[in-house]
Amino acid sequence: MEPAQLEQPDLRRDYVATLTTVRKWRTFFVVLTSLCLLVHAGAWAAVYFKAVPSSPRASVLASPQPPTAPQPAPAADSGEAIWNTIRVALPTTEFAGRLSAALLCLSMLFAALVALAGRLPSSGYVQAFYGSLIVLALLIPWDRLTPQSPRVPGIFIDAMVLETPPDAPGVPQPPALVFSLLRFVAYPVLAILLLGYSARCFGRSYREAAASPGASIPMRVV
């Protein structure tokens, strides 16, 4: 009786299975980063176009001189709950967005290494890695690293900046509308487009790898 022959599984199937796992996490990181960007852009738009009540901090900074006559205690501000939500949501989504973008870069790099090791199509993974790397660079808080230059903005914004009126003492005065549109509209749109480009490049190489010979051969051990 002839000994049973062992059918050697194609290792490409294992590589493609690994890339499938990376693909799922890539989708999660892309969606999470995009949502964080949209939260900050939406918060700026809501404050700039006065969709939310003015913050009590804005009224204090706008009129720093104390009143000469005693004023009655103001009623409870109905918008305070909204501002409390903004103060919590902005730093939370800022942290989540940067962390997600960093993990997305690592995922793209890992996918490229797996594809190279498995001799699978890898050009799309390399392009996806560089696209996600540019997104991570856009998410770096350049305005905090260079506080002397207010014209080097970051995508994310602090709640304190939204609460500070543009005419408060000590606030730099760039061209308000153009500067704000660049920071809170153009930057997030550019980052989201790069995320989409990165995801598309990843998907192209993944489909090529999944369609390669041996990628879907079932494993059978005798």
Mean per-residue pLDDT for 96-114?
A: 95
User: Could you report the per-residue pLDDT of 163-200, keeping only the tens digit for each?
Assistant: 775 554 444 455 567 777 888 888 899 999 999 999 99
What is the value of pTM for the model shown? 0.77
pLDDT of residue 57: 62
- Show me where the domains of the chain are located: 11-60+81-210
Secondary structure letter of residue 53 according to DSSP = P
pLDDT of residue 206: 92
User: Could you report the per-residue pLDDT of 4-40, keeping only the tens digit for each?
Assistant: 443 344 677 888 899 999 999 999 999 999 999 999 9
Own/partner long-range contacts of 216-222 (Cβ < 8 Å, ≥24 apart):
216/13, 216/16, 217/9, 217/10, 217/13, 219/9, 219/13, 220/7, 220/9, 221/6, 221/7, 222/4, 222/5, 222/6, 222/7
